[in-house]
Amino acid sequence: MGARDLRKYIEFLLWHYRVVDAFWFIYVSEHFDQSTAEHINEKVWGRVAGMAAKDIIARFNINDKGLKGFVNAQRLFPWCILVGYQILEENDEIFITVPSCPTQEARLKRGLDEYNCKEMHRKEFASFARIIDERINIECLFAPPDPHPSNMFCKWRFFVG
């Protein structure tokens, strides 16, 4: 497979990764309820993110600790690529913003409300960060169900301390 076809295949895999996650959530919500789906989603992403961080560190030989290691690893995390996390490095802190969230936008397009993803992402980021460096702290500036600007779904701050 050439570079172009390999890139297309990776995009295909990532798209299916997102589709599986979306239908899993929808069906759990339909079979049980929204709150249960959100709670299970928190547990799943709290677990998978740490596993991904370990794998990324090993596969891509990331030895840096602190925010530098976090950013280097986070840029390789599939969900970061899929969603298009914007990572801003400022002095001794990192900000991750999500201007366009495919999951929330798909829900809104189908007439559904935004789902509460704040705690799921908190657990995802905490699990991921803890593998890189236990000193990394996470602060949610806003995420659904919080009110947010129309051009941004969530914003997170990471710092060592």
pLDDT tens digits for range 41-89: 999 999 999 999 999 999 999 999 999 999 999 999 999 998 899 999 9
The pTM (predicted TM-score) of the whole model is 0.92
- Which residue matches tokens 């989603």? 41
Burial readout 11-25 (b: 16 or more C-beta within 10 A, e: otherwise): eeeeeeebeebeeeb
Q: Tell me the mean pLDDT in the region 131-158.
A: 97
Neighbours of 55 (CB within 10 A): 14
CA-nearest of 56, 46, 32 to 118 is 46
pLDDT beyond 90 at 136: yes
DSSP per-residue letters across 42-81: HHHHHHHHHHHHHHHHHHHT----HHHHHHHHHTTSHHHH
Residue type, 3: A
DSSP type of residue 85: -
pLDDT beyond 90 at 161: no
Residue type, 73: A
Tens digit of each residue's pLDDT (9 = 90 or more) over 76-128: 999 999 889 999 999 899 999 999 998 899 889 999 899 999 999 999 999 99
Sign of CA dihedral 138, 139, 141, 145: positive
Instruction: State residue 103's pLDDT score.
Output: 87
